Chains A and B, each alone.
Chain A
Amino acid sequence: GNSVTQMEGPVTLSEEAFLTINCTYTATGYPSLFWYVQYPGEGLQLLLKATKADDKGSNKGFEATYRKETTSFHLEKGSVQVSDSAVYFCALSEDFNKFYFGSGTKLNVKP
């Protein structure tokens, strides 16, 4: 079956530190992969996506590369800001009808 596993949080970083949040997946077919962000008290927002192997999704300084050989889609940012504090969810979908989400990783960025 399909599933997503992401690193447990919380992750606490100082401002301008490098961020990596690991995400690995299991899928029966060829899924599209997503990262969503949830700010306190709000719904999820799409951060970036990649629809095929070796694609790199990027947005707001965040990047993730679809690695089929390692079934991974790790989220990275070179220099985090306090405003990046949020919960980050990795997700997959094979058909854009059914979506599978990871458990979420809370990021705290200290000034």
Chain B
Amino acid sequence: DSGVTQTPKHLITATGQRVTLRCSPRSGDLSVYWYQQSLDQGLQFLIQYYNGEERAKGNILERFSAQQFPDLHSELNLSSLELGDSALYFCASSVAGRKNEQFFGPGTRLTVL
């Protein structure tokens, strides 16, 4: 158990809908990272937050957004969902960016029908 929790574990929804994925980092970790893992794209970095502020952006679509709240939990919002958004979404946390290990949560499996 990494100490990072993600909810829900599974999510099934329809095209055009909007969903919110939630991540609670390990106690004391200030950084949260979001990743998308799909069969055709592999593991893609989406976005990083550090203590409530966006720190780095990767291949995140405009339909996707994220935020980190004062209690350090983070949410990833996915809107206007398409079939191709079906994937495993991982959250990871670390104490701080530089030279610190990322701890990954178990992931949320999103299926868009």
Cβ contacts A85-110/B at 8 Å (1 or 0 each)? 00001000001111111111000000
A101 touches B45 (CB 8 A): yes
Cβ contacts B72-113/A at 8 Å (1 or 0 each)? 000000000000000000101010011111101111000000
A99 touches B33 (CB 8 A): yes
Interface residues on A, range: 20 to 34
- Which residues does chain B contribute within 8 Å of A101, judged by CB atoms? 35, 42-45
Whether a CB of chain A sits under 8 angstroms from the CB of B18 is no
Task: Give Cα distance in the complex from A36 to B69, angstroms.
Answer: 28
- Which residues does chain A contribute within 8 Å of B94, judged by CB atoms? 96
Whether a CB of chain A sits under 8 angstroms from the CB of B30 is no
* Chain A interface residues (CB < 8 Å from chain B): 32, 41-46, 49, 51, 89, 95-104
Can you list 30 A-B contacts with CB-CB less than 8 angstroms, sorted by A residue number?
A32-B99, A42-B106, A43-B90, A43-B92, A43-B105, A44-B92, A44-B102, A44-B104, A45-B104, A46-B102, A49-B101, A51-B99, A89-B43, A95-B98, A96-B94, A96-B97, A96-B98, A96-B99, A96-B100, A97-B50, A97-B97, A98-B48, A98-B57, A98-B58, A99-B45, A102-B42, A103-B42, A103-B43, A104-B42, A104-B43
